[in-house]
């Protein structure tokens, strides 16, 4: 285990030292390049542009890890004496079931929507975890010639990703609320019993609160993952600004500390919060009076 951590630390140090190396060679390094989502290949489909970028590759990677790992475990069967992999999966499932599904969803809707909130948790968690692993996908700062350099990038630090996930949750919650209660009774449940003069004001407030749910759900995940990666980049920014490699022995350890904190706590916490709030929104729409 210590050997694996040492290899990850070396790869991380290499990714963080690349800006200083590029600067020493007379090149230019712009930290904002790490968050750009430029197409590597694209084609036009009417008014839309569809293509492959670093963001798309990270989404594919997160999706592939989630699906392949699940299928591999299911095909292998569950053992009475679980191994390391099965133990981790069982812990994730138990945590998702008790702390997300059962804690937020009504019993009548648990079987229908627990797979959604659990998948949401695992998918976001996977995207967050791999975002702190240096991968050779940095086309702005190549290692040798055209070989992409190492990068730390979070697909969840892109607002379009978190906004899409948030819109899915909000759309599902309203659909389930209308399906379970009827369209008009569900809409009436938005406004609590009150004097007629106050109802227009309360309706406006409730509509705003529904819009704020979308904003808070998407921006919370986006801002936390963006800030975490910016903290790591800012540490190496001292090397860039000063143009001196002797600062690296100080900047690199601080960046590694931030990396451990973000990878060990923030990545899992934000996935949990997003999935939990999704369950709360769906559950409160199905049973608006509880």
User: What is the rounded CA–CA span in Å between residue 160 and residue 142?
Assistant: 26
pLDDT of residue 116: 93
3-state secondary structure of 48: strand
Angle (CA) 266 169 164, round 5°:
75
Distance, in Å, from the CA atom of 119 to the CA atom of 66, rounded to the nearest integer, reads 9
Q: Quick one: which H or E segment has residue 163?
A: helix 159-181
What pLDDT does residue 41 have? 77
Q: Tell me how far apart the alpha carbons of residues 245 and 232 are, in angstroms, rounded to a whole number.
A: 17
| Segment-wise mean pLDDT, segments of 10 residues, the chain, 290 residues | 51 51 49 69 77 88 86 66 72 84 88 91 92 79 68 87 94 91 86 77 85 91 88 70 62 76 87 94 81
Query: How many domains in the chain?
Result: 1
Q: Name 245's Cβ contacts closer than 8 Å, sequence gap at least 6.
A: 20, 24, 239
Question: Quick one: residue 223, left, alpha or beta (phi over 0 = left, psi -120 to 50 = alpha)?
Answer: alpha
pLDDT at 170: 94
Residue 37 vs residues 33, 53, 168, 191, 260: alpha-carbon distances, Å: 9, 6, 22, 42, 25
What is the reported pTM?
0.82
Helix axes 2-24, 199-242, angle to 10 degrees: 70
DSSP letter assigned to residue 58: H
Q: What pLDDT does residue 20 have?
A: 45
DSSP assignments along 214-267, one per residue: HHHHHHHHHHHHHHHHHHHHHHHHHHHHHT-GGGHHHHHHHHHHHHHHIIIIIH
Alpha carbons 85 and 95: distance in angstroms, whole number: 15
Vertex 231, ends 157 and 137: CA angle to 5°?
A: 55
Cα distance between residue 228 and residue 221, in whole Å: 11
Tell me the residue range of the domain where 256 lies.
2-286
């Amino acid at each position: 285990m210590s050997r694996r951590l040492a290899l990850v630390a070396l790869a991380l140090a290499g990714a963080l030292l690349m800006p200083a190396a590029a600067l020493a060679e007379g090149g230019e390094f712009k930290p904002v390049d790490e968050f750009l989502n430029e197409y590597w290949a694209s084609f036009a489909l009417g008014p839309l542009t569809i293509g492959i970028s670093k963001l798309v590759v990270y989404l594919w990677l997160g999706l592939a890890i989630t699906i392949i790992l699940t299928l591999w475990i299911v095909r292998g069967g569950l053992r009475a004496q679980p191994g390391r992999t099965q133990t981790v999966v069982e812990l994730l499932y138990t945590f998702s079931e008790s702390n997300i599904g059962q804690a937020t969803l009504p019993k009548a809707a648990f079987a229908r929507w627990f797979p959604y909130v659990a998948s949401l948790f695992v998918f976001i968690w996977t995207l967050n975890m791999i975002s702190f692993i240096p991968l050779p996908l940095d086309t702005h700062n190549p290692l040798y010639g055209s070989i992409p350099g190492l990068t730390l990038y979070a697909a969840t630090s892109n607002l379009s990703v978190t906004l899409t996930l948030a819109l899915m949750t909000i759309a599902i919650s309203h659909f389930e609320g209308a399906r379970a209660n009827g369209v008009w009774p569900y809409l009436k449940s938005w406004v609590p019993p009150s004097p007629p003069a106050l109802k227009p004001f309360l309706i406006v407030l409730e509509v705003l609160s529904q819009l704020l749910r979308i904003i808070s759900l998407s921006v919370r995940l986006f801002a936390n993952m963006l800030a975490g990666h910016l903290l790591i980049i800012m540490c190496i920014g001292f090397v860039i600004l000063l143009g001196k490699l002797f600062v690296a022995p100080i900047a690199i350890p601080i960046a590694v500390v931030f990396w451990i904190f973000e990878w060990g706590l923030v990545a899992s916490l934000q996935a949990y919060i997003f999935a939990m709030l999704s369950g709360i929104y769906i559950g409160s729409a199905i049973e608006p009076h509880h």
